[in-house]
Structure 1
Amino acid sequence: MGKTWRVAAAGLALALFAAGCSETEEKAEPQAGASVSPAGSVQPEGKGTAGGAGFKKFDPPVTFTQNKINTEGTVYQPGDSLENNGYTRWLQNDLGIIVKPKWITPNLETDVQKLNIGAASGGLPDVIGAEAPVLGNLAQQGVLTPLNDLIEKHGSPLLKHVIELAQKDAKGKLFSPFTIDGKIYAFPKMIDRMAYWSTNWIRKDLLEELGKPVPATLAEMEEVLAAYKGKYPNGTGMVLDKDMLGVDLLTQAFDAQPKKWRLDGDGKVIYGSIQPQMKEALVKLHDWYAKGYINREFIAKNNDNTISDLTSGNTLTWTNGQWWNVYFPFPDMWKNVPKANMAALPTLKGDNGKRSVIIDTVSNYGVAINKSYKQPEVIIALYNMQLDSLYRSNEVIRKELAGKYEFKYPVTALQTPLNPTEKNASLFKYSYGQPGWGWFNDFPDNDANAWGFQGRLGSEAVNRLERIAAALQKGSKDGLNASEVNDYDGLSAEPQRPNAFQSVLSTWLEREKGSYVSANVYPGVPTPAMTQKKAYLDKLEAETFARIIMGQEPAAAFDKFVDSWKKGGGDDITKEINAWYQANK
């Protein structure tokens, strides 16, 4: 198998262990599966049967420790806890795997502190969940187990197929945050494709009032902003905050990509914030600011402040939003302005008819295996079985793997209710086939606290939303499963919500087909120069851009910024990232 597959495979497996599931690029050849011998070691199984009927339980049971975060307000079924619930019981009863917390913390910050202490004292857990900077440091210290060969040897055909699908969803970048010198050191937490997209929203009711269509180009957006400012001089046309989130409404029309790493025409990795088109975009942002289209006090506003402006009905747009804005904060706006009709803006085209979007397709959080843990194949076995349970009722995947893989668990219909009460909890103890969030109905708080991988293939989430959208259009729940009916009811709870949801879904699907969309080339482990210089360079960038937008400095300040960025460590970072790219592309 090629290097690309091996790298992707390793990364995917981890992704699911931490949160839900992962993906890879090239198709893997059908391989021998894996079963667990009574001695507890993973042994080759017959061709195409890994995870199938021959997949045995670990006997005697095996144990690993893991760091866990248990946030305030987490809900469990009566009598259950983070350490003892439907998921952990399944691990022990069906797989012979016992998971023990090395420690339990209330938040990520405390967890990182304990990880740092554990690294210094040799007291790390067997399985380590953390963000890329922490895992990157551990990998460079030689503390973590590379996963490439481990997944290739012990991964089931199902696992490798899911890797392929996940890598496709992630535009080939699934494992980048945890790859060093071609070796994967963590399973990235999977994120749904719908979470890739930041969404710029606009008040369609105001557009109708102004006699304007939803703008598709930068020029049309300017016309709308001018018309809105003329009628509502105290309103905000384009929302920014002190972090300048939302500038992509304009920058994407200039092919300017602040804070993103991209390829130039020669195949070299370059930083978007220092390119000439970023200067052009800043000039236009200043022009809009001077004309009053952008909130004048943006430099002093955080996200909460801009939410207040939105909910009061005093804004035309809501920038850097997400699809779930239909649940928050739009309902608070609809209480004050019931007529507000929110529509997702398309990616605006510039004067040359072009546009560009660069997205982060993977999570910065992953799960790694401590090099001192002597049975790392246990983690892969867990993942094999977990995927078998998770995808057993997926007709598409079953068809794609026909003749190559035999599922251990039978196809089952989704059990209801989704959140069983105490009196029927035993009846719905296990619901392995549950679509959407989680594997078990006895996780009212979804699968966020499962000891294994969380999340699903991003394509599944999008397909699921498409089914719900189609049902909303028909006004009928027929054909939806219980989980989808639950979301259908939520989206129907307010009359303004279905249209906003349909609008944002249509925008995603249009982007999915767009050749103007690419993945951030380097969403990776912080390089040595990044560790030393990035905080300073980010501060320099934010302050310079804000001053240019507000007119406190001329556009020529951008050129000085580029020079300072390069000399202040940017050139060193760029050199390191290009070396990484050449080693891992």
Structure 2
Amino acid sequence: MKWMSGMLVLLITFVTACSSSSTNTAKNSEAEKGMKKDPEVVSKPIDPYGPFDKTVTISIAQQLPPGDAMLPPGNTVEDNVMTRFYEKSLNIKFNREWNAVTGEPYDQKVMLAIASRKIPDAMKVNEEQLRTMVKAGLLEDITDVYNKYASPNIKRLHNDLAGGKALKTATFDNKLYGIPNISIEGDAVTVLFLRKDWLDKLKLPEPTTMDDITKIAKAFIDNKMGGEGTIGLTGPNTPELANEKGNRTHGFDPVFSSYRSFPRHWVKDDAGKVTYGSIQSQTKDALAVLRKMYADGIIDKEFFLRKDPNELFLSGKNGMFFGPWWMAWTSLANGFKTDPNQVWKAYAAPVDKSGKFVTHLQAVSREYLVIRKGYEHPEALVKGVNLKIGIDRQAKEVPQALADQYKNEIKTTSISNTLDIFRVVTDDINAVTNRRNALLGAMNKTVDPASLDGEIAPMYNILSKYIDDTTVLKYYPKVIGDGFTMSDMAGPLAYIVGGAPMAKGYEGVQSLLYIPTETMKSRWANLSKLENETFLKIIIGEAPLDSFDSFVTEWRKLGGDTIIKEVEDMIKK
């Protein structure tokens, strides 16, 4: 990865220096041609889901799914059910300039394309790549095109629901240079899942504080609620004990947050100065608590060695773990196969000393669909995104014929969504709470079930017919007996039970920056290794608590202070 980081530094310098080259002259000439629109086409009312009168061709960079997840029989990367769908529905054809497996191989090719200034008409990039391309003058300003062609559904998601936060990340000098994804905020919130049946059997009060969690976990262990070897609290099986990306399972993030510590985040200290969350003094306080819990046997003694911590609650050995709301939908649902009598509940715990539930958040956007400067039909990309996101979100404004066509021709196959250039994963930023409220409103007769969106309407049908308790996640054999799956049963309860802690309100803390600075590109691997090893050793007792102070000194000396200054400079821009 070091050579990639170094290359990107060189690319920024190279492409910026070349921005006034003869290539730009050619691009400008092409842009002028693109401005000569057919008056008849321009004068037509704009249909965000309508096909073009004449075939529009887009050259793209094609991401490929990893591993063996490829194509259904009779399909190729160049010609498949997905490409044929967009050709029939929008009259759009694709030319692939190059393919690469998603992740590092794809990022390498993006960097080479930037260096050569030979980018396709459309491609997906991350925030760092977006900034580089904007600085180099490689991208089309799509402000007017977005305003004119974006569907009501897209604008509602970006503006009404996300408050323009995602669009802001793709806007430079008041010009929009890409279509951003929108991450669900609730996916970043890590809550406490607990075996409510065990809690009730022991006649213990529900948890709120860190002390409550410790006492309950000890009671579970002492009373062997999961048999011999009962585990109190699971831990992460990754080097990072907390993270900045969201969708974190089994991490200690809520413990740190309850002390207002935010490892791996860029935050402001009490004096208003930028700092790194992992070196805050309150991080040492949180490590002290985790260290004692581990020493007392509350935390799984082998958490850092386990391949899959889920196995502990799936086997009935564990009754408490931290995770995102959707674990009630997936992992916990599978636990009923082992023990159909288990009952789970989610809690906004632990709270901080003021009684507030605090959590870190994730980046609002991580992926962008960008358009080459001078491309004649930037509106084609917007219309493609309109259709894909409209179908994914089951927006009622999407023509039924198109939704049915997609369902019949694509949903029935095993084709990977990775192959869809228009797929920029976008949802209601507050999807968890809003869908939870809608489901409960329909149950309570305050919301018309007919108004429910396409994702949760089927969930309401299950809720209203089978579910008699919306406060806990438990097994309903009749649901399965009637031919539904565990996921069908757990889906609505994931929103209602897993989403309950968020419905009570929380304080969300966003990192000031989510992309690397120049020094981070060469130093971050070593700094992260130092952090991960120090924190783990402190918790499991292989290093004294005061080694945290030595870590902070070493971190600063190895480039941390320089990085803090770079972060300050970047967030000012």
Q: TM-score, normalised by structure 2?
A: 0.73
Residues 349, 573 of structure 1: alpha-carbon distance in 2 compared, 3 angstrom cutoff: same
Deviations for 1:337-382, whole angstroms, at most 9, x for unmatched residues? 2222122121421334344212004343333334xx531x623453
State the partner residue of 1:281.
286
State the partner residue of 2:229.
234
State the partner residue of 1:369.
371
Gaps of 5+ in 1: 1-35, 399-408, 426-439
CA RMSD of the aligned region, Å? 4.4
1:251 Cα offset (Å):
1.4
Deviations for 1:303-349, whole angstroms, at most 9, x for unmatched residues? x2x12222111112122x23332343223322222222122121421
In the alignment, the residues of structure 2 paired with residue 532 and residue 394 of structure 1 have an alpha-carbon distance, to the nearest angstrom, of: 40
Aligned counterparts, 1:183-194, within 5 A? 186-194=178-186
Residues 299, 322 of structure 1: alpha-carbon distance in 2 compared, 3 angstrom cutoff: same
1:123 Cα offset (Å):
5.2
State the partner residue of 2:207.
215
State the partner residue of 2:548.
558
Deviations for 1:8-30, whole angstroms, at most 9, x for unmatched residues? xxxxxxxxxxxxxxxxxxxxxxx
Aligned counterparts, 1:122-521, within 5 A? 124-133=119-128, 135=130, 142=136, 145-146=138-139, 150-156=141-147, 159=150, 162=154, 165-166=157-158, 173-174=165-166, 186-232=178-224, 234-242=229-237, 243=239, 244-245=241-242, 246-302=251-307, 304=308, 306-319=309-322, 321-370=323-372, 373-375=373-375, 378-384=377-383, 386-387=385-386, 412=400, 419-420=407-408, 448-459=418-429, 461-462=431-432, 463-464=434-435, 466-468=437-439, 479=450, 483-487=455-459, 493-494=485-486, 499-511=493-505, 514=506, 516-521=507-512
State the partner residue of 2:8.
none
Indicate conservation of the 8 Å contact 1:39/1:58, yes or no: no
In the alignment, the residues of structure 2 paired with residue 269 and residue 168 of structure 1 have an alpha-carbon distance, to the nearest angstrom, of: 31
1:477 Cα offset (Å):
11
Indicate conservation of the 8 Å contact 2:274/2:564, yes or no: yes
Residues 164, 562 of structure 1: alpha-carbon distance in 2 compared, 3 angstrom cutoff: farther
Gaps of 5+ in 2: 1-30, 243-250, 464-478, 480-484
Deviations for 1:500-553, whole angstroms, at most 9, x for unmatched residues? 542112223333xx3x223222123x1101101111111111111111111222
State the partner residue of 1:575.
565
342-351 vs 166-175, greater mean Cα deviation: 166-175
In the alignment, the residues of structure 1 paired with residue 34 and residue 282 of structure 2 have an alpha-carbon distance, to the nearest angstrom, of: 62
In the alignment, the residues of structure 2 paired with residue 343 and residue 159 of structure 1 have an alpha-carbon distance, to the nearest angstrom, of: 40
- Identity, in percent, stands at 24
SS at match of 1:580: helix
Residues 157, 208 of structure 1: alpha-carbon distance in 2 compared, 3 angstrom cutoff: farther
Indicate conservation of the 8 Å contact 1:173/1:519, yes or no: no
Residues 263, 551 of structure 1: alpha-carbon distance in 2 compared, 3 angstrom cutoff: same
SS at match of 1:220: helix
1:578 Cα offset (Å):
1.0
Q: TM-score, normalised by structure 1?
A: 0.72
Matched to 1:189, the amino acid is N
Indicate conservation of the 8 Å contact 2:69/2:416, yes or no: no
